[in-house]
């Protein structure tokens, strides 16, 4: 009976298209892509030998040597496709380290195929696996069933392995990968019962096409600008490492001046820069860190992840990366100076979980840069990042259980020679005694939206204090309360603030609301409407942290501000001689806009005297007092204690 070639020809066409597509999509980086491409090439070779073998069989008698060669190599490569598919699954699940640790797995993977090779070689002499009868017709031998037993071993191993690590895959990917096994089993059974119907390689190629569409999706794993794996694949791979207890060494490369360079270069030149950096990293990766994975996380953040390379080689590669990125990079005749912060992390030895690792990465930019390769073990603070990964829960718990407390820092009036106001500052001490810095919980609260609840809490506490008899004895004019950017842009802010003030039956003049220089730089109608309503109601407004950003002075002049608070950077007069010129002109400009000045961060008598001479109306800082709870503030201002007692 003549064997059908049609299915194999269709398989050949599908595989050629898939290989061409893979090459054009540049999907050859990373272990997963390499194994999938190897599957395509192996399937193409297998299909080629099958077509050759079928053509020889259909040609009739003769050509025995070629027939033996064609059928032998077909079986050899065909029997290799299933273990290679298992390797592909292992690469997808990133569990090679588990395979290496358990010696039984390598035996199960390689021993059956070794038996295959022995059978195929011995068949050339004893013809027990297959042979050609008197009419030179292909005939299965008495031990051909061993081929099916070996295939069944691989099928069973792959199916169980994939099912065991199913949680490492999305439902879509798991369903796609597991579907291959019953489909291939069906094709094997058909070809076993009907040898003339050569359907196996067609089903095999169709399965690879399906996997290419459902699993091998470059838009899911690749960053199209750099050509490297993207943030999503990096996060997933790190989480997989946690689940499978895999140890990684990570070289973190953060271009700390990326945003400045990006704006200077423009979109197209920025893409060229990213590709140039990627090529440099890829070259180092190939030469020094084989089998490592490269990622681009966006915003100038590159990652090299490896699990096999000794630490000395990883450190040498990090040094090479650091030195390679120091010279200027030429993009379209522009000399670009990149400031690259390079840090090595042993994961999970240095940092124990994915959330803490990601929190550490976010703070690495510029904070620790010294031009040398950094080690996470030297700079990572375990307690800090344990707090950061759980900060949203900590904030919610603090709001529910009244763990927040309002502190007050008195502000000295130069003209009155006494304290005439105070700033409300929020503090968080958890029930287990931990102090959480506002630098940690305020940005987190702004991201989560909890800042609105916190803002209401602070204003309620301040208004309750102002309404008390204790406050009346202190002769303070007002209390300053900070507003975040997100609060200013909340449409109902003005109404909420006025409702709270009305509820506590206090005068609006007793409240001074502070907005940051960052908030003032926003051109946002909602914020301006809020500030105008509050100002018209009699609430004074201050601009906080003036001098820390790049303010649009026209924008600031258009806001209903009464007070400008100079950031503590202005107090560094002694360190920067030219600061005096800047300071004097800044004070003159503010006064000409009919605004009063508060100077923050004053810690010495000399600085207090200096700013008094410059006719700044108010001074705030540790020289006078640190922030303190309400009871201590009352005692301090009542004369029971003095500044020195609070330092």
181 in Cβ contact with 158 (< 8 Å): yes
Q: What pLDDT is attached to residue 104?
A: 64
Q: Is the pLDDT of residue 644 over 50?
A: no
Q: What pLDDT is attached to residue 558?
A: 77
Two tokens at 98? 């588990």
Q: What pLDDT is attached to residue 580?
A: 77
Q: Which of 138-142, 573-577, 593-597 bottoms out in mean pLDDT, i.e. has the lowest?
A: 573-577
Q: With pLDDT > 70 as the criterion, what percentage of the chain qualifies?
A: 91
- Stretch 161-170: mean pLDDT: 89
- Stretch 398-409: mean pLDDT: 91
Q: What pLDDT is attached to residue 280?
A: 92
Q: What pLDDT is attached to residue 510?
A: 96
pLDDT classification of 1: cutoffs 50, 70, 90: low
Q: What pairing do the DSSP bridges indicate for beta strands 130-132 and 596-599? A: unpaired
Beta bridge partners, 406, equal 426
Q: List, in order of start, the domains of the chain with CATH numbers.
A: 6-217 (1.20.1070.10), 222-387 (3.30.70.270), 402-638 (3.20.20.450)
Q: What pLDDT is attached to residue 123?
A: 92
HEC assignment per residue over 77-112: HHHHHHHHHHHHHHHHHCCHHHHHHCCHHHHHHHHH
Q: With pLDDT > 90 as the criterion, what percentage of the chain qualifies?
A: 44
pLDDT classification of 216: cutoffs 50, 70, 90: confident
Q: Is the pLDDT of residue 497 over 90?
A: yes
Q: Is the pLDDT of residue 641 over 80?
A: no
Helix (H, G, I), strand (E, B) or coil at 602: coil
- Stretch 410-437: mean pLDDT: 88
CA separation for the pair 23, 46 (Å, rounded):
20
Q: Model confidence over 220-239: pLDDT tens digits? A: 778 888 888 888 888 888 88
CA separation for the pair 192, 167 (Å, rounded):
34
- Stretch 123-139: mean pLDDT: 90
Q: What pLDDT is attached to residue 365?
A: 67
Q: Which of 215-224, 465-474, 565-574 bottoms out in mean pLDDT, i.e. has the lowest?
A: 565-574
Q: Model confidence over 61-81: pLDDT tens digits? A: 888 999 999 999 999 999 999
Mean of per-residue pLDDT scores for the chain: 86
CA separation for the pair 137, 1 (Å, rounded):
10
Q: What pLDDT is attached to residue 404?
A: 92
Q: Which of 38-47, 80-89, 331-340, 573-582 bottoms out in mean pLDDT, i.e. has the lowest?
A: 573-582
Q: Model confidence over 508-531: pLDDT tens digits? A: 999 999 987 666 555 567 888 889
454 in Cβ contact with 482 (< 8 Å): no
Q: What pLDDT is attached to residue 557?
A: 75
Beta bridge partners, 482, equal 514
Give the CA angle between residues 559, 527, 483 to the nearest 5°: 90
Q: What pLDDT is attached to residue 320?
A: 94
pLDDT classification of 405: cutoffs 50, 70, 90: very high
- Stretch 489-499: mean pLDDT: 90
Q: Is the pLDDT of residue 462 over 90?
A: yes
Alpha-carbon distances, residue 242 vs 86, 89, 222 (angstroms)? 22, 18, 22
HEC assignment per residue over 25-38: CCCCCCHHHHHHHH
Q: Is the pLDDT of residue 381 over 70?
A: no
Q: Model confidence over 281-319: pLDDT tens digits? A: 999 988 888 778 899 999 899 999 988 788 899 999 999
Per the confidence metrics, is the pTM higher than 0.95?
Answer: no
Q: Model confidence over 312-361: pLDDT tens digits? A: 999 999 999 999 998 888 888 788 888 888 999 988 788 777 777 877 77
Q: What pLDDT is attached to residue 386?
A: 64
Q: Model confidence over 601-626: pLDDT tens digits? A: 898 898 899 899 988 999 999 999 99
Q: What pLDDT is attached to residue 647?
A: 40
Higher pLDDT, residue 628 or 489: 628
Higher pLDDT, residue 381 or 562: 562
């Amino acid at each position: 009976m003549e064997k059908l070639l049609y299915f194999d020809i269709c398989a050949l066409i599908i595989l050629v298209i898939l290989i061409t597509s893979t090459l054009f999509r540049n999907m050859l980086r990373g272990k997963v892509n390499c194994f999938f491409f190897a599957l395509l090439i192996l399937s193409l070779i297998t299909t080629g030998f099958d077509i050759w073998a079928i053509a020889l069989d259909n040609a009739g008698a003769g050509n025995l040597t070629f027939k033996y060669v064609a059928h032998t190599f077909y079986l050899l490569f065909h029997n290799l496709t299933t273990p290679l598919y298992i390797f592909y699954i292992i690469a997808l699940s990133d569990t090679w380290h588990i395979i290496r640790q358990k010696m039984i797995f390598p035996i199960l993977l390689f021993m059956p195929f070794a038996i295959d090779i022995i059978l195929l070689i011995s068949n050339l002499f004893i013809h027990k696996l297959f042979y050609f009868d008197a009419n030179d017709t292909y005939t299965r031998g008495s031990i051909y069933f061993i081929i099916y037993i070996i295939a069944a071993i691989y099928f069973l191993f792959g199916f169980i392995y994939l099912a065991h690590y199913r949680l490492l895959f999305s439902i879509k990917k798991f369903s796609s990968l597991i579907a291959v096994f019953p489909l291939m089993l069906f094709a094997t059974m058909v070809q076993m019962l009907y040898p003339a119907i050569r359907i196996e390689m067609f089903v095999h190629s169709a399965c690879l096409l399906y996997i290419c569409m459902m699993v091998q999706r470059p838009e899911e794993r690749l960053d199209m600008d750099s050509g490297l794996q993207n943030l999503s694949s990096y996060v997933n791979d790190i989480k997989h490492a946690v689940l499978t207890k895999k140890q990684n060494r990570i070289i973190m490369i953060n271009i700390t001046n990326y945003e400045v360079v990006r704006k200077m270069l423009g979109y197209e030149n920025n893409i060229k820069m990213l590709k140039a950096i990627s090529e440099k990293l890829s070259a180092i990766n190939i030469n020094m860190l084989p089998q490592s994975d490269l990622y681009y996380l966006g915003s100038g953040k590159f990652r090299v992840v490896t699990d096999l390379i000794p630490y000395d080689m990883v450190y040498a590669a990090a040094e090479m990366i650091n030195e390679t990125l120091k010279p200027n990079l030429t993009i379209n005749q522009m000399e670009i100076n990149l400031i690259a912060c390079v840090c090595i992390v042993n994961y999970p030895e240095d940092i124990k979980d994915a959330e803490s690792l990601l929190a550490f990465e976010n703070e690495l930019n510029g904070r620790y840069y010294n031009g040398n390769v950094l080690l996470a073990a030297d700079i990572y603070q375990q307690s800090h990042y344990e707090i950061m990964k759980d900060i949203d829960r900590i904030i919610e718990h603090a709001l529910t259980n009244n763990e927040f407390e309002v502190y007050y820092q008195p502000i000295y009036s130069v003209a009155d020679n006494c304290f005439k106001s105070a700033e409300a500052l929020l503090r968080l001490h958890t029930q287990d005694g931990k102090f959480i810095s506002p630098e940690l919980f305020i940005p987190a609260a702004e991201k989560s939206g909890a800042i609105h609840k916190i803002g209401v809490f602070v204003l309620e506490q301040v208004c309750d204090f102002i309404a008390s008899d204790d406050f009346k004895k202190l002769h303070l004019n007002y209390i300053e309360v900070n507003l975040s950017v997100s609060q200013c842009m909340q449409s109902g802010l003005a109404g909420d603030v006025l409702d709270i003030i009305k509820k506590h039956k206090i005068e609006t003049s007793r409240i001074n609301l502070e907005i940051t220089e960052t908030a003032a730089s926003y051109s946002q109608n909602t914020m301006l409407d809020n500030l105008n309503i509050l100002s018209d109601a009699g609430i004074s407004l201050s601009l906080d942290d003036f001098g820390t950003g790049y303010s649009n002075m026209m924008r600031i002049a258009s806001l209903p501000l009464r007070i400008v608070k100079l950031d503590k950077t202005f107090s560094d007069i002694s360190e920067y001689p030219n600061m005096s010129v800047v300071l004097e002109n800044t004070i003159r400009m503010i006064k000409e806009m009919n605004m009063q000045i508060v100077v923050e961060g004053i810690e010495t008598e000399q600085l207090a005297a200096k700013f008094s001479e410059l006719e700044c109306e108010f001074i705030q800082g540790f020289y006078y007092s640190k922030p303190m709870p309400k009871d201590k503030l009352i005692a301090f201002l009542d004369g029971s204690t003095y500044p020195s007692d609070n330092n």
